Amino acid sequence: MRWAVAVTAEGTALLCPLDGRGRAAGPVAAEPDVARAVAERTASGSVTRWVWRSTAQVYPRLLEAGVRVERCHDTEACEALLLGREGRWGEPRSLSAAWARLRRAPVPEDPPLRAADRQPSLFAPGPVPLPPGTDPLEALLEVYAGQLRRVEAAGHPERMRLLLAAESAGTLVAAEMNRAGVPWRADVHRELLRELLGESYPGGEPTRLAQLAEEVSRAFGPGARVRPDLPADVVRAFARDGIRLSSTRAWELRKIDHPAVAPLLRHKTLYRLHTAHGRSWLRTWVRDGRFRPEYVPGGSVTGRWTSNGGGALQIPKVVRRAVVADEGWRLVVADADQMEPRVLAAVSRDRGLMEVAGSGRDMYSVLSDRAFGGDRDRAKLALLGAVYGQTSGDGLRHLADLRRRYPAAVAYVDEAARAGEEGRLVRTWLGRTCPPAAAREEDFGDGGAGPPETDAQGPSGGGAARARGRFTRNFVVQGSGADWMLLVLASLRQSLAGTRAELVFFQHDEVIVHCPAQEAEAVVEAVRAAGERAGRAAFGETPVRFPFTTAVVECYADAK
């Protein structure tokens, strides 16, 4: 049975069981302690899903008390998905806002999801308050019942139900991972910094960076002083040597033949390490042997997660040396094989591509054997070009080959692109909906104002419309992949329940489980099973396989 739980302003709990339509099916209980109230009902096994305002509001205090739940319905996460599905993307998602809409009352704004957009403050924003005197459980029930009705009104109610369940499960995983943290050896990290950057003193430049800056300067002639970390400085220096640069991006520098290039590129890499993952990062984000980022499920519009602080989803390869399992424990690092091409096969139902994705083999190799004369790189380029909206180069030619052999697959993403260019909405397989163009106008150039971009204009219209098309083309694949991966997480989390293994890291198509060494093989099997189960759950009976590459390691850096 489903139960609803609301936390009052005083921090106490109001709970009641629910019927199938989300109405109270029993008396309301008022209890002083949320964690205890939930724990007691969870232990009895009578609760299959907890309905609450948001996981972020309720679950951390449960975890603090050692209480885990199996399933939940996060009304705020679900509200965002439902609003999108209804073409009302961007309306506030808070419970208070949803309740106000039902009552036709003034709708309060949401606080920004991203910490970077929030006012600097010591405290994360609390929940958007309900009007004074409102019973939080009644508001929760009203909103929840309304959401159940809206699910039924959606195009594919069964898919929408699955999507809401998956997103909610994701919020549970995120809260648990926030709490667990990534095992992190600060001593290994510091040693690595010393090796690569040399000695560094507080406030000073690491010795290796200073040396490289010297080398760069020398390469521009005696007496020259060029600071590699100042792009304008670098552009000027090259100009003096007769080389014109439009930027100092690494790929542009690599095209140039000049003695300054090599030390400059090296400096870029190390400077980046120093500023983004150096000692100050270590001090800020690593405590008690754990790196604790804050995950934001659904933080990006495609359904991918983002993170606040610490750059959790951009940990450079070299730094992964510092991610080390506890004594006697292992890291199971699992990477979904060619997630996006497999998802494209599943959603487009292209017979040929489904067959390619139907073996456990590397998809690009199979594809290259069949259509690209054994050239795996070309096959990969063609497929990624189709998904990303390649506009020029060899990839475009390869795309034509792909279109001939796998017409339904290419037509699927082409149609998504056309929809975007024409200002229509697109959705993932489960119904996650892309934001309308207007909501993202600032991301797509001038939005129609100003002079036309002559060189960027093609047969399909202006640069903004085509950028929109690339976005929607990518959205249907990247987003459906994100939906599938959420189901993987949910399934994996269920099978790890009751063991000592814990999810500690998740990055788009990759997940890390930290577990006792003797549990590692069981975790590997659990990942494999979760991938297949998620595939069937999301896409129904499909020949497409969803394999993972897994590695059981003590150190993250050894996984690939």
How, if at all, do strands 49-52 and 72-74 pair?
Answer: parallel
| Options 41, 85, 93, 304; binder of DNA; rule CB under 7 A | 304
Which of 61, 60, 284 minimizes the C-alpha distance to 174? 60
Q: CA 401, 405, 408 angle in degrees (round to 5)? A: 115
State both tokens at 398: 């390869």
| Options 467, 490, 512, 530; binder of DNA; rule CB under 7 A | 467
Taking the least distance from each CB to DNA, the nearer of 371 and 464 is 464
d(CA 384, CA 367): 13
Which of 57, 56, 51, 38 minimizes the C-alpha distance to 2? 51
Which residues in the 501-530 window bind DNA by CB under 7 A?
507-510
Instruction: Answer for the pair 412, 353: CB distance below 8 angstroms, yes or no.
Output: no
CB 233, min distance to DNA, A: 7
The contacts found for 102-108 with CB under 8 angstroms, 24 or more apart, are: 102/142, 102/143, 102/146, 105/131
Position 392 contacts DNA (CB under 7 A): yes
CB 463, min distance to DNA, A: 10
Instruction: Answer for the pair 144, 51: CB distance below 8 angstroms, yes or no.
Output: yes
CB 392, min distance to DNA, A: 4
Site pattern 122..141 for DNA (x: CB under 7 A)? --------------------
Taking the least distance from each CB to DNA, the nearer of 8 and 275 is 275
Question: What stretch of H or E contains 73?
Answer: strand 72-74
Position 215 contacts DNA (CB under 7 A): no
Position 421 contacts DNA (CB under 7 A): no
User: Site for DNA (CB under 7 A): how many residues?
Assistant: 61
Stretch that binds DNA, among 174-182, 207-215, 464-472, 496-504 (CB under 7 A): 464-472
Site pattern 253..292 for DNA (x: CB under 7 A)? -x-------------xx--x--xx---xx--x--------
Position 296 contacts DNA (CB under 7 A): yes
- Distances in Å between the alpha carbon of 50 and those of 39, 57, 64? 11, 13, 17
Taking the least distance from each CB to DNA, the nearer of 147 and 178 is 178
Place of tokens 């095209």: 255
Which residues in the 151-190 window bind DNA by CB under 7 A?
none
Taking the least distance from each CB to DNA, the nearer of 25 and 557 is 557
Position 338 contacts DNA (CB under 7 A): no
d(CA 515, CA 524): 11
Which of 81, 88, 89, 108 minimizes the C-alpha distance to 97? 108
d(CA 469, CA 65): 48
CB 274, min distance to DNA, A: 8
CB 213, min distance to DNA, A: 12
Positions in the binding site for DNA (CB under 7 A):
114-116, 229-233, 247-251, 254, 268-269, 272, 275-276, 280-281, 284, 296, 299-302, 304, 306-311, 313-317, 381, 384-385, 388-395, 443, 467, 470-471, 474-475, 478, 507-510
